[in-house]
């Protein structure tokens, strides 16, 4: 009897220990993206070819298969739903199954079980990946409804997401507001305030969070009208970085619940740079993602009951390092670039038509792209792209023209402006990391994460039976890179 009691005492602290899970999603980041950024860091830091490793290299445990229920090439909605619900669904679906029925997510199940919850992203908070953990709609473009879902309360009348950081303020404002992109007059921002949510929009307000504690929760901070800026373009006085938002989220969530917390962190703009075939923006957002992983890695050292898992929903761009016939690529070309293709094109669209060629030659090439020996062909391809009819088509053509010039000089290739069906890396560190290994389906990873937190989505799924999953008025977009 004494022996039994001693054993119970010995295992009790572990059995009831606080448990944290940080799921990190590097959207659109494939194995070649890791190689690209690693080579970039090695090349700009040394004249030799000495080995250099990222924080992710030390955490590699396997790979993840990415196909959705209806395609060998997934989109972010189906990919994130696999992680969130532990099941396969069709492209475009946000936390609903193939029949359009809501599926309980790991975030919702964790909240119901007493965990604190958080979402951090550099996209709109209503974009496919973060939405798939806290909303349920049949089409990812139903972002007006997604915003309402994300501030809703669970069955115990608690706000389901304790902390949200990202962009997308326009989806929370009524269409009567000049800064709104909603299709109705619902003021979701005011509704959040009325339900007791602390709201932030300024960098200065964000900085004050480091001087406070968890009493600020529930909390939502949106720091951009739509998506947050690429790392290469970010104004640090107006927008926090992904690593800064994540560090603050860890600090605020850590003392919120004795049970622990679930936090999803997304490096969203890695994917968008891939859609643009913009290698410089791509590599800088990867490096910022690494900084974020390092912050979480350090947190695990101080909090050993924490597991961090990093993976991607899919690969974007079909990235290749080396273009036939040369067996080489040139990372330093990317180091000369100071603006994303997105920012360059926005600048050119504001330029008087008669001045465009001169501005490209005298300003864009030397100051933004680091090119002092441009060719006539390079000038022509940008000028021609600016003549494409249709706003969306012109923007895409311009970004691909700018990205294409840099890519060709760096000897970087792209097979598509969309997603590919490649497997993606699986990385883990911390508590029970030995269970996160091998090659697996994305939906199986979702199941493993729920098992780690010892939560089940079944009760949440039942409670969601009458949830509205369709938005009456919305625009379905055939493209999901930046819209």
How far apart CA 314 and CA 122 sit, in angstroms, is 17
Q: At 342, which helix (H) or strand (E)?
A: helix 341-349
The number of residues in the chain equals 483
Backbone angles phi, psi at 281, to 5 degrees: -60, -40
- The verdict on whether omega for the bond into residue 404 sits within 30 degrees of 0, i.e. cis, is no
Are 151 and 119 in contact by the 8 Å Cβ rule? The answer is no
Name the residue among 81, 75, 88 with its Cα closest to residue 130: 81
**What is the tens place of the pLDDT at every residue in 18-65?**
999 999 999 999 999 999 999 999 998 765 667 899 999 999 999 999
φ, ψ of residue 75 in degrees (nearest 5): -105, 180
Catalytic position from the list 76, 180, 257, 312: 76
Q: Taking residues 169-196, what's their average pLDDT?
A: 96
Which residue is it, tokens 């492209």? 91
334 and 286 Cβ atoms separated by less than 8 Å: no
CA distances from 474 to 139, 140, 182, 190, 471 (A): 10, 10, 9, 22, 7
DSSP 228: P
Residues 20 and 266: their CA atoms lie apart, in Å, by: 17
Task: State the DSSP code for 212.
Answer: S
3-class secondary-structure state, position 111:
helix
CB 311 within 8 A of CB 427: yes
Q: What pLDDT was estimated at residue 11?
A: 35
**CA distance readout (Å), 483 to 58, 322, 396:** 35, 30, 12
Residue 243 catalytic?
A: no
- When pLDDT is cut at 50, 70 and 90, the band that residue 271 belongs to is very high
Average pLDDT estimate for 104-112: 97
Q: What is the DSSP letter of 113?
A: T
Query: 3-state class of 27 per DSSP?
Result: coil
Q: Please state, rounded to an integer, the average pLDDT across all residues of the chain.
A: 93
pLDDT of residue 474: 64
Could you give the CA distance from residue 36 to residue 59 in angstroms, rounded to a whole number? 17
Is the pLDDT assigned to residue 255 strictly greater than 80? yes
Who has greater pLDDT, 33 or 390? 33
Q: Residue 325, preceding bond cis, omega within 30 degrees?
A: yes
DSSP 183: S
Q: In this structure, what token pair is assigned to residue 376?
A: 């006539």
240 contact partners, CB below 8 Å, separation of at least 6: 165, 203, 206, 223, 248
């Amino acid at each position: 009897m004494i022996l039994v009691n001693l054993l119970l005492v010995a295992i009790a602290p572990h059995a009831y220990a606080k448990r944290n899970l940080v799921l990190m999603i590097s959207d659109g980041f494939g194995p070649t993206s890791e190689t690209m950024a690693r080579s970039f860091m090695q090349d700009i830091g040394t004249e030799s070819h000495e080995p250099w490793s990222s924080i992710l290299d030390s955490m590699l445990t396997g790979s993840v298969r990415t196909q959705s229920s209806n395609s060998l090439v997934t989109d972010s909605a189906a990919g994130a739903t696999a992680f969130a619900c532990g099941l396969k669904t069709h492209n475009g679906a946000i936390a609903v199954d193939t029949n359009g029925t809501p599926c309980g997510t790991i975030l919702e199940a964790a909240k119901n079980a007493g965990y604190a919850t958080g979402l951090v992203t550099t996209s709109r908070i209503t974009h496919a990946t973060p939405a798939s953990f806290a909303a349920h709609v049949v089409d990812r473009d139903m972002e007006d409804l997604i915003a309402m879902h994300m501030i809703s309360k669970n069955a115990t009348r608690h706000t389901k997401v304790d902390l949200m950081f990202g962009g997308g303020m326009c989806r929370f404002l009524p269409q009567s507001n000049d800064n709104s992109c909603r299709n109705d007059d619902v003021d979701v921002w005011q509704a959040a305030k009325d339900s007791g949510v602390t709201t932030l929009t300024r960098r200065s307000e964000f900085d004050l969070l480091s001087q406070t504690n968890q009493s600020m929760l529930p909390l939502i901070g949106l720091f951009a009208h739509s998506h947050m800026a690429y790392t290469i373009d970010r104004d640090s006085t107006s927008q926090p970085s992904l690593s800064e938002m994540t560090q603050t989220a860890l600090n605020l969530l850590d003392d919120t619940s004795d049970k622990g917390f679930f936090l999803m962190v997304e490096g969203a703009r890695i994917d968008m740079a891939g859609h643009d075939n913009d290698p410089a923006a791509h590599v800088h957002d990867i490096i910022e993602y690494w900084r974020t992983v390092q912050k979480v890695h350090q947190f695990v050292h101080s909090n050993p009951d924490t597991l961090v898992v990093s993976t991607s929903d899919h690969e974007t761009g079909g990235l290749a390092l080396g273009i036939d016939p040369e067996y080489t690529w040139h990372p330093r070309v990317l180091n000369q670039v100071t603006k994303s293709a997105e920012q360059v094109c926005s600048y050119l669209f504001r330029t008087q038509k008669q001045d465009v060629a001169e501005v490209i030659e005298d300003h864009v090439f030397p100051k933004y792209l680091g090119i002092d020996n441009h060719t006539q062909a390079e000038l022509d391809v940008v000028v021609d792209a600016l003549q494409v009819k249709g706003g969306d088509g012109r923007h895409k053509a311009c970004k691909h023209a700018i990205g294409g010039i840099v890519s060709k000089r760096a000897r970087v290739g792209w097979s598509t402006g969309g997603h590919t069906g490649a497997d993606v890396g699986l990385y883990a560190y911390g508590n029970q990391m030995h269970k996160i290994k091998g090659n697996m389906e994305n939906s199986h990873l979702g199941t493993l994460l729920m098992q780690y937190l010892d939560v089940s989505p079944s009760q949440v799924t039942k409670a969601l039976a009458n949830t509205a999953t369709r938005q009456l008025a919305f625009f379905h977009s055939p493209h999901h890179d930046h819209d």
